[in-house]
């Protein structure tokens, strides 16, 4: 293996903190699933919010996106989010229309 | 390869050549070496594959009333342990990348092996969960299942809401395939040709030991395909994998973890049956 001088600003302590935070967030998700304190829609919103936070931690620290150039960060993030937004507007109005039509 | 001769300064600014002559190589557009940019582009496209499957699952859930809730406490506990395995594997992976950047070869290999162990544990637990659900009657027509499945508590779900098993197995199978490819990828990077007989032995043992009415009796052949591809790569283009290769394989592995962070709540936690 070559000794390549690619450096990242992350360190072992930081990675352990991120790992711990991810486990805690997962535990919160499981408790929410068990207790079912929210309605289905509120529950979905809460779980999605926690998932977005967890994915941001993974992308930012474990995948080192936080330490990439601004151009790289924006190109990847913006293009993927734009595609998801387009998918959302294609799929979900139709699924909602079926409910509005009174399908039980 | 140009990649192996490039060095970056501490903040990933312009690269300089191995001889210290700035400008010997054209500055990369994204500030990273080509393999890493290539992997990021692949992951961006792959995220759309999983995005489409998650959208399909959610779409079916919206218009299927009532939506089945087959996941008891045991299933949620199992899926939580699987999540912890993947999160822990991401930690060992990133420690492996750090070891590779220090030039610590044995440390790199050990951390990558730990990552593979966590990944394998995830696959085994997921396989057990699948087998349990199929045994309870959650089946897809045309796929092998044991005789008891037709009288299981979920047999009615497969008839009244076939969208559930179709989207559930489709989504989780795609993710399980990615984890399997990730374990093979890390095996190639960490053990190289030594990994081939290990992979071959696991494939053969799995094929001989898993009963023929279990779907994994057939899905285990994915390992044979992986063995063929890994052999082609290792024999036609043998190389000493460097820190860049370890980092790029880490990107793929973290992506697999990332996708599960959406599958776990959307598929499992939103379909719990706590009684």
Residue A98 pLDDT > 70, yes or no?
no
Tell me: do A22 and A56 sit in the same domain.
Answer: yes
Average pLDDT estimate for A11-16: 92
Cis ω before B66 (30° cut-off from 0): yes
pLDDT of residue B143: 80
Reduced to 3 states, what is the DSSP secondary structure of residue A45?
A: helix
Backbone angles phi, psi at A2, to 5 degrees: -75, 150
Tell me: do A73 and A53 sit in the same domain.
Answer: no
Average pLDDT estimate for B77-96: 96
Q: Which residues of B touch A80 (CB under 8 A)?
A: 44, 47-48
Nearest to A1 among B59, B105, B254 (CB): B105
Residue B204 pLDDT > 50, yes or no?
yes
Nearest to B65 among A54, A96, A103 (CB): A103
Distance in angstroms between the alpha carbons of the first and the last residue of chain B: 60
- B222-246, pLDDT tens digit by residue? 999 999 999 999 999 888 888 999 9
Residue among A15, A62, A86, A98 with most chain B CBs within 10 A, to mutate:
A62
Tell me: do A38 and A77 sit in the same domain.
Answer: no
Q: Measured between alpha carbons, how far is B175 from B47 in angstroms, rounded to an integer? A: 11
Tell me: do A63 and A97 sit in the same domain.
Answer: no
Residue carrying structure tokens 């996708």: B259
* Residues of the domain holding A39: 1-67
Nearest to B8 among A1, A6, A96 (CB): A6
pLDDT of residue B61: 85
Q: Measured between alpha carbons, how far is B51 from A83 in angstroms, rounded to an integer? A: 9
Nearest to B43 by CA among A8, A49, A26, A72: A72
Average pLDDT estimate for B124-136: 93
Tell me: do A53 and A75 sit in the same domain.
Answer: no
Tell me: do A81 and A55 sit in the same domain.
Answer: no
Instruction: State the complex-level ipTM.
Output: 0.84
Query: What is the homologous superfamily of the domain B33-271 according to CATH?
Result: Cytochrome c oxidase, subunit III, four-helix bundle (1.20.120.80)
pLDDT of residue B137: 87
Tell me: do A49 and A76 sit in the same domain.
Answer: no
DSSP string, B221-262: HHHHHHHHHHHHHHHHS-----HHHHHHHHHHHHHHHHHHHH
- The angle formed by the CA atoms of residues B188, B127 and B249, to the nearest 5 degrees, is 25
Average pLDDT estimate for B258-275: 88
Q: Residue A31 contacts by C-beta under 8 Å, 6 or more apart in sequence?
A: none
- B180-197, pLDDT tens digit by residue? 999 999 999 999 999 999
Instruction: Indicate the pLDDT class of residue A102, thresholds 50, 70 and 90.
Output: low
Percent share of chain A, pLDDT over 90: 38
Instruction: Indicate the pLDDT class of residue B9, thresholds 50, 70 and 90.
Output: very low
Cα separations (Å) of B108 from A31, A86, B6, B190, B256?
36, 41, 21, 8, 20
Residue among A17, A30, A71 with most chain B CBs within 10 A, to mutate:
A30
The domain spans of chain B are 1-32, 33-271
Instruction: Indicate the pLDDT class of residue B14, thresholds 50, 70 and 90.
Output: very low
Residue B60 pLDDT > 90, yes or no?
no
DSSP string, B71-84: B-HHHHHHHHHHHH
Tell me: do A93 and A103 sit in the same domain.
Answer: yes
What global pTM score does this model have? 0.86
Residue A1 pLDDT > 70, yes or no?
no
Residue carrying structure tokens 């990615």: B178
- B168-180, pLDDT tens digit by residue? 999 999 999 999 9
Q: Looking at the complex, does the CB of residue A31 fall below 8 Å from at least one CB of chain B? A: no
């Amino acid at each position: 293996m070559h000794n390549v001088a690619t450096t990242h600003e992350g360190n072992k302590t930081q990675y352990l903190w991120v790992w711990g935070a991810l486990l805690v967030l997962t535990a919160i998700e499981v408790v929410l699933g068990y207790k079912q304190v929210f309605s289905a829609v509120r529950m979905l919103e809460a779980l999605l919010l926690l998932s977005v936070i967890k994915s941001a931690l993974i992308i930012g620290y474990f995948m080192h996106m936080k330490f990439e150039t601004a151009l790289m960060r924006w190109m990847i993030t913006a293009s993927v989010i734009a595609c998801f937004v387009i998918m959302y507007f294609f799929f979900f109005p139709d699924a909602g229309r079926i409910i509005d039509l009174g399908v039980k | 390869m140009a990649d192996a001769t490039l060095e970056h300064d501490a903040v990933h600014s312009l690269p300089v050549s191995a001889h210290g002559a700035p400008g010997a190589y054209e500055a990369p557009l994204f500030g990273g070496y080509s393999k890493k940019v290539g992997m990021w582009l692949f992951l961006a496209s792959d995220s759309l594959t999983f995005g489409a499957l998650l959208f399909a699952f959610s779409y079916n859930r919206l218009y299927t009333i009532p939506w089945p809730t087959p996941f008891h406490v045991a299933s949620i506990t199992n899926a939580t342990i699987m999540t912890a395995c993947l999160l822990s594997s991401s930690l060992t992976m990133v420690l492996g990348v750090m070891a590779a950047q220090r030039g610590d070869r044995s440390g790199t290999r050990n951390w990558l092996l730990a990552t593979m162990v966590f990944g394998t544990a995830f696959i085994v637990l997921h396989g057990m969960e699948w087998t349990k659900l199929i045994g309870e009657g959650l089946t897809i027509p045309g796929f092998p299942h044991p005789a008891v499945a037709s009288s299981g508590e979920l047999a009615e779900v497969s008839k009244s809401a076939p969208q559930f098993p179709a989207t559930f197995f489709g989504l989780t199978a795609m993710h399980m395939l990615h984890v399997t490819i990730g374990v093979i990828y890390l095996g190639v990077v960490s053990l190289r040709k030594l990994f081939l007989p290990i992979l071959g032995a696991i494939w053969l043992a799995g094929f001989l030991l898993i009963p023929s009415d279990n779907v994994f009796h057939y899905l285990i052949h994915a390992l044979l395909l992986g063995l063929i591809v890994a052999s082609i790569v290792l024999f036609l283009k043998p190389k000493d994998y460097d820190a860049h290769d370890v980092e790029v394989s880490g990107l793929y592995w973290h992506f697999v973890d990332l996708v599960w962070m959406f599958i776990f709540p959307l598929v499992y936690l939103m379909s719990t049956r706590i009684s």
